[in-house]
Amino acid sequence: MAADAYSWPGEHHIHIEGALTPELLFQLASSNGVTLPTDDHAFQSVSTLYERYQHFESLDDFLHYYYIGMSVLVTESDFEALAWDYFQHAARDGVVHAEVFFDPQAHLSRGISYETILSGFKTAQTRALEEFGITSELICCFLRHLPVPDSLAAFNIPELQASLTNGSVAGIGLDSSESGFPPLLFKDLYQQAAAFGIRRTAHAGEEGPASYIRDALDTLGVSRVDHGVALVQDRELMARVAEQGTLLTVCPWSNVFLKGVRSVSELPIREFLDAGVQFSINSDDPAYFGNHYILDNFCAVQEAFNLSVDEWRRVCEAGIRGSWCSEQRKAEMLERLERVVAKYEQA
């Protein structure tokens, strides 16, 4: 069932800038006249860059390349090309719904307007809907390694705030370096967002401790937790998260590539299933993590844990129910899931 193109490959945790392939990166660097670091051998060619991506030492080691990579995105059509490249991969994997993070601060700081970024993504989203029937939402992430006032200033850019309140962006997230940047720092930002009724999620418990997950829930009022694998270190909190039905957006290959675990089999997938924790399976930054898009992540989980049809049904259902789309779209996806499950149960 994991590899069934008619099941529910949907995702809630894909950074669009993390879908920038080395091929597109070099192409855009050339067309925009962006100079890539000359003192790093990795930037010599597409193949040396792919080779370097095989050896990240940590989240921060990866982020170093991630931020250099996105410096090639300049025009509206660059943002469109990036998102369109991702949607083509998603369509091949049978994705029906995608909730996509983007990092405006990393572009605004280079003089790119919010409108340029958003318009490029929106064009690709519309095309993905028309050509592939993929529905999608955008989630605006704030960068936790930057000074807090920077995120507040970004949140108060009129166009950015309007996109969150008029529904063209579905909610906010918090990403980038985790250790040393506790959720508490962003309390004001999240309180302001809450006052507008904006949906909130945050990366927590990827490299950071389980206490960051508790803080994200209690201080930031998130309705989802991105990654959250450290939850297994705190059984009491795990029981609470299960009880509340908070969705964790787990990213198996990402955790392997960033050295959180040595293999997918070390992830707490069984513990989460046994405890009744709701989680979905996601790709995070597929172009940086071995070109493992969503289906590779589903398959890796299947190979490592051999989930039953009913367990996959639970994972997929949790993902659908935790989505930030319309109730009608959720109902359609649940119906589709039931058809697939019925097919497997008959087989």
- Residue set of the binding site for Zn(2+): 13, 15, 203, 284
Supply the minimum distance, in Å, between the C-beta of residue 256 and Zn ion.
Answer: 14
Residue type, 334: L
- Alpha-helix runs per DSSP H in 54-181: 59-69, 76-92, 104-108, 114-132, 148-155, 158-165
- Residue 206, binding choice from Zn ion, ligand ADE, none, Cβ under 5 to 8 Å by partner class: ligand ADE
Q: Which of the residues 99, 137, 178, 206 is marked catalytic? A: 206
Contact (Cβ atoms closer than 8 angstroms) between residue 229 and residue 253 = no
Residue 220 or 337: the one with the smaller Cβ distance to ligand ADE is: 220
Residue 2 or 287: the one with the smaller Cβ distance to ligand ADE is: 287
Distance CA 329, CA 306 (A): 29
- Residue 59, binding choice from ligand ADE, Zn ion, none, Cβ under 5 to 8 Å by partner class: ligand ADE
Exactly one of 78, 99, 284, 317 binds Zn ion (CB under 5 A); that residue is 284
Instruction: Specify binding-site residues for substrate.
Output: 285
The contact mask relative to ligand ADE for 302-341 (x = CB under 6 A, - = no) is: ----------------------------------------
CA distances from 316 to 11, 281, 282, 311, 320 (A): 10, 9, 11, 9, 6
- Residue 236 CB burial class (10 angstroms; 0-12, 13-18, ≥19): exposed
Residue type, 216: A
Supply the minimum distance, in Å, between the C-beta of residue 254 and ligand ADE.
Answer: 5
Q: How far, in whole angstroms, is CA 163 from its chain's centroid?
A: 19
Supply the minimum distance, in Å, between the C-beta of residue 66 and ligand ADE.
Answer: 6
Supply the minimum distance, in Å, between the C-beta of residue 333 and ligand ADE.
Answer: 25
The contact mask relative to ligand ADE for 196-215 (x = CB under 6 A, - = no) is: -------x--x---------
- Residue 253, binding choice from ligand ADE, Zn ion, none, Cβ under 5 to 8 Å by partner class: none
Read off the tokens for 283: 């790709």
Asked if residue 254 binds ligand ADE (CB under 6 A), the reply is yes
Exactly one of 59, 95, 118, 189 binds ligand ADE (CB under 6 A); that residue is 59
Contact (Cβ atoms closer than 8 angstroms) between residue 255 and residue 229 = yes
- Is 80 a residue of the active site? no
Distance CA 273, CA 34 (A): 46
Give all strands (DSSP E) within 134-194, no chain letters: 135-143, 171-175
List active site positions: 206
Q: Which residues bind Zn ion (CB under 5 A)?
A: 284
